[in-house]
Amino acid sequence: MARRVLVTGGAGFIGSNIVAELAARGGFEIAVCDRLRAVDGGKWRNLAKHAIDDFIAPEDLSAWLGGRGRDVAIVIHMGAISSTMEADADKIVHINFSLSRDLHDWCAASGRRFIYASSAATYGAGEHGFDDRSDLDFLTALRPLNAYGWSKALFDILVARRAAAAAAPPQSVGLKFFNVYGPNEGHKGAMRSMAAQMWPGVAAGEAVRLFKSCREPWGHGAQERDFVDVRDAAAIALWFVDHADVSGLFNVGSGEARSFNDLARAVFTAAGRPARIDYIDMPEAIRETYQYHTRAPMDRLRAAGYAAPLATIDEGVADYVRRYLSREDPYR
């Protein structure tokens, strides 16, 4: 019998890639909760290649859970306001914390498994490192740099407190996504990955513009991020679907810190063009809080049993450009 899986945010970037993985594997009834908005915005196209069994508007989710949702075995909660440019903090907290809390509590009360999107933004400037610990002392010491990161950190703390009080779902997994890139992100606009933002200019033969460094020992464009292919991120989420006995917080990255220079060169190489990079001044408004290094230690995930290789940006970006960004139909 097929397992029914609810994917919130299932038409979004990471969520739609999880839906693609579920559909490719078979054996699942897939219900998607999301808001598609404008027809020309592209989100509906993120789902168009895959059969789903139900679609729920966010405002109808509570009623749906009390009806057809009684058959749900696993909730994969990717729905969130992920824009760091969102100006309404009340909206961010309501959606990223309060609604997530309600869904977590429903899973705990009804014995359903719960896999949710946390974020590397919870680590703030990285002054406490990037280890995916779930003890309360560590989680409460983190100082995110924006309201989005804070809302995600707040929910991580709530989940840890619920677990300590034996009020958790039978499986509870938080996935701390780092800098994700890959197919189905076109609708994100200014919040697309840097690889996607670079591509149109590179394809047109233009130079990529990167920030100059304002801090030693980093050179211009040498600021580092852990760039992770969304297809690896989705595969990790599905690994937890297959391993109901594993719970906790886990980093989702490549395990490598690579520079923006490296990323730009990977896009140029995939396009078959020589690299052209110009360096521009970093806006003063972000200089004090700009991160110069992130890297996702993947030890806990590996120790839990995840053994699949993780794409480097050279591998992942090459495939992303050739199979998606350069095509007329860029959707997975």
Cα(300)–Cα(253) distance, integer angstroms: 12
Q: Which of 123, 148, 292, 320 is catalytic?
A: 148
The count of other CB atoms within 10 Å of the CB of residue 311 is 19
Span 199-244, pLDDT tens digits? 999 999 999 999 999 999 999 999 999 999 999 999 999 999 999 9
Least confident range from 181-185, 255-259, 282-286: namely 282-286
Residue 41, pLDDT > 80, answer: no
Span 136-170, pLDDT tens digits? 999 999 999 999 999 999 999 999 999 999 999 99
Q: Residue 38 has what pLDDT?
A: 81
Q: Residue 37 has what pLDDT?
A: 86
Q: Residue 82 has what pLDDT?
A: 85
Span 45-68, pLDDT tens digits? 999 999 999 999 999 999 999 998
Residue 288, pLDDT > 90, answer: no
Q: Residue 294 has what pLDDT?
A: 96
Residue 314, pLDDT > 90, answer: yes
Span 102-135, pLDDT tens digits? 999 999 999 999 999 999 999 999 999 999 999 9
Q: Residue 276 has what pLDDT?
A: 98
Average pLDDT taken over every residue of the chain: 96
Query: For residues 287, 265, 322 and 329, what is the CA-based torsion angle, rounded to 10 degrees?
Result: 30
Q: Which residues contact 204 (CB under 8 A, 6 or more apart)?
A: none
State mean pLDDT over 74-95.
Answer: 91
Which string of b and e fits 70-107 if b means at least 16 CB within 10 Å? eebbbbbbbbbbbeeebeeeeebbebbbebbeebbbbb
Residue 2, pLDDT > 80, answer: no
State mean pLDDT over 262-283.
Answer: 97
What is the SS3 string spanning the chain?
CCEEEEEECCCCHHHHHHHHHHHHHCCEEEEEECCCCCHHHCHHHHCCCCCCCEEECHHHHHHHHHCHHHHEEEEEECCCCCCCCCCCHHHHHHHHHHHHHHHHHHHHHHCCEEEEEEEHHHHCCCCCCCCCCCCHHHHHHCCCCCHHHHHHHHHHHHHHHHHHCCCCCCCEEEEEECEEECCCCHHHHHHCCHHHHHHHHHHCCCCEEEECCCCCCCCCCCCEECEEEHHHHHHHHHHHHHCCCCCEEEEECCCCCEEHHHHHHHHHHHHCCCCCEEEECCCHHHHCCCCCCCCCCCHHHHHHCCCCCCCCHHHHHHHHHHHHHCCCCCCC
- Comparing CA positions, the residue from 57, 227, 60, 77 lying closest to residue 155 is 77
Q: Which domains, from first to last, does the chain contain?
A: 3-180+227-253+296-306 (3.40.50.720), 181-225+257-294+317-325 (3.90.25.10)
Active site residue 290: no
Q: Residue 40 has what pLDDT?
A: 78
Q: What percent of the chain has pLDDT over 70?
A: 100
**What is the residue whose two structure tokens read 């100059």?**
212
Active site residue 91: no
Residue 1, pLDDT > 70, answer: no
Cα(96)–Cα(88) distance, integer angstroms: 12
* End-to-end CA separation in angstroms for the chain: 27
Q: Which of 188, 279, 290, 331 is catalytic?
A: 188
State mean pLDDT over 263-280.
Answer: 98
Q: Residue 84 has what pLDDT?
A: 78
Q: Residue 42 has what pLDDT?
A: 80
- Specify the pTM: 0.96
Cα(214)–Cα(220) distance, integer angstroms: 8
